[in-house]
Amino acid sequence: MMNKFLKLKSILIVFTLGLLFTGCSADDNTDLIITDPNAEFDADLLVTEAGTGDRRNVTVNASDVSGSTFKAKVAFSANSANMRRLYITQNISAFGEEPFVFTSQEVDEKPDGSLDLVGDDKDTFEFQLDLPKPTMTDGTVVYKLWATTGRGDFRDVNKRNALGDNVVGIITVRYGTGVNDGSGIKAFSQTILAAPLADGSSNTFISLYNNEVYKISEGEETAALWDFGYYYGATQNASLASTANYPTNIIDVPTISSLTTAELNNFYIAASTIDFDAVAVASDLDGITAPTSERVTGLSVNDVLEFADQYGNKGVIKITEISGTDGTGDFIRFDVKVQVQ
């Protein structure tokens, strides 16, 4: 039933954002207005910079909601900075946080998956979320929301947080006992990275946070999400390198992304003796010590690698296929198992 639930999550967990904009002068705020101001809400989330009267952590019991959806009211207020983007993650049954994908046609979504908060002086916003009630016996679905002054990071709530370090709103939907029965491992199978092409069209970089691969040409908006990329060197052959340590003679990531090296992810990786297929629970990876290297070269099929990223996540990679060298259509394929936070 859990697998079925995970397959349905992308279509079931749909936020209905009622966004009605009021006409404002240059000195006014362009606030998001709740579509139904007379509605009763199952969850009422209030997050302010001052912290006075906040309701930052709200729990909804599924058994208390008779309908097919949960209705949540969300309000944010800042004093010292303008809020430009809203980040939302979802964590289903403790399988790990993932960026929430907006589906509403009325949402202005940035390339990194955040919500663009329209308006020049955005210090307050408020809107309504309608969350479907999936079939589930025990466990939780957790939503984390925070606002930033610019491009943030789904894995780092403190990056440009408009309200201060660690200021987030959390909505927890609780089913039954609220106990999640999971392995603490997130597995990605048959992931492919393409050899880098000069025109930027190749899907060369990956974020293990969401198992998304990215084109080089997308670097300006998404490079801060990338963990590592693939290349095929003249002498080093099939290789992986962290975004911060990627060979600049192949792709100059800071230049194509307009980001400093400090804003790019460090990803520490090395050859491993761990039995990839035997890894079943998170504790199987506890023994990994962060490698000192940010590149691995000369890779072959069935090689196993261990890694630790700069956010403290540990995992293993198994190389399953290497095709060609550095041309169009050439790629590497691998499987991943990583601890979830």
Q: For residue 187, what are the β-bridge partners?
A: 337
Please tell me the predicted confidence (pLDDT) of residue 189. Answer: 85
Q: What are phi and psi of 332, to 5 degrees?
A: -125, 145
At 211, list the tokens: 């198992």
| pLDDT tier for residue 1 given thresholds of 50, 70 and 90 | very low
Mean pLDDT of the region 3-23 = 36
The whole-angstrom separation of Cα 205 and Cα 242 is 9
pLDDT in tens, 14-56: 333 433 333 333 333 333 446 567 778 889 999 999 898 999 9
Strands (E), 244-283: 267-271
What's the chain's average pLDDT? 83
Q: Which of 87-96, 237-246, 301-310 has the lowest mean pLDDT?
A: 87-96
Q: For residue 185, what are the β-bridge partners?
A: 339
What is the percent of the chain with per-residue pLDDT over 70, rounded to a whole number?
Answer: 85
124-132/69-77 β-pairing: antiparallel
The whole-angstrom separation of Cα 217 and Cα 229 is 13
Mean pLDDT of the region 150-174 = 92
Query: Are 226 and 214 spatial neighbours (Cβ–Cβ below 8 Å)?
Result: yes
Q: Which of 97-111, 287-301, 309-323 has the lowest mean pLDDT?
A: 97-111
Model confidence, pTM: 0.72
Q: For residue 88, what are the β-bridge partners?
A: 145
The whole-angstrom separation of Cα 253 and Cα 323 is 24
Query: Are 64 and 53 spatial neighbours (Cβ–Cβ below 8 Å)?
Result: no
For 230, the 3-state DSSP assignment is strand
Please tell me the predicted confidence (pLDDT) of residue 211. Answer: 85
Report the C-alpha dihedral over residues 267, 199, 152, 150, rounded to 10 degrees: 150
What Rg, from alpha-carbon coordinates, does the chain have?
A: 21
| pLDDT tier for residue 132 given thresholds of 50, 70 and 90 | low
Which residues, 6+ apart, have CB-to-CB distance to 293 below 8 Å?
268, 269, 270
Please tell me the predicted confidence (pLDDT) of residue 120. Answer: 58
The whole-angstrom separation of Cα 238 and Cα 301 is 10
The whole-angstrom separation of Cα 72 and Cα 69 is 10
Please tell me the predicted confidence (pLDDT) of residue 198. Answer: 85
